[in-house]
Amino acid sequence: MAFEFTDSNFKEVALDKEGVAVVDFWAEWCGPCRLVGPVIDDLSKDYEGKATIGKVNVDTNPEISMKYGVRSIPTILFLKNGEVVDKHVGTATKQTLATKLEAIL
């Protein structure tokens, strides 16, 4: 299962920690988000120990969404050592996201 990022743990887990984090901004009512969810879950298993891969529910964690200007969901941010290095908006295949992740690792 993918990691659950929240307003309270985001700084510690994604920003202050060295390495790569993949953050999927989603909401339960969002159809395309439900398509991307299983892809994020698969990637979190495939890259366990190499990257922190998880989700942020925009409805319950508005601070992070506002900080990164997320207006459309799903939005997937790729962070390396706390800095955004890539971004994907909309649905995506596992291969597309894995290719982006490999390039960052």
pLDDT digits (tens, 9 = 90+) for 40-65: 999 999 999 999 999 999 999 999 99
The yes-or-no answer on residue 5 being catalytic is no
Answer whether 102's CB lies under 8 Å from 45's CB: no
Answer whether 2's CB lies under 8 Å from 44's CB: yes
Taking alpha carbons only, the member of 88, 87, 86, 77 closest to residue 52 is 77
User: From the candidates 33, 36, 77, 79, which is the catalytic residue?
Assistant: 33
Whether domain 3-94 has CATH 3.30.365.10: no
Residue 1 has pLDDT above 90, yes or no: no
Taking alpha carbons only, the member of 30, 105, 94 closest to residue 65 is 30
The yes-or-no answer on residue 33 being catalytic is yes
Q: What is the pTM of this model?
A: 0.96
Residue 41 sits at φ, ψ, to 5 deg, of -60, -45
User: From the candidates 13, 27, 30, 98, which is the catalytic residue?
Assistant: 30
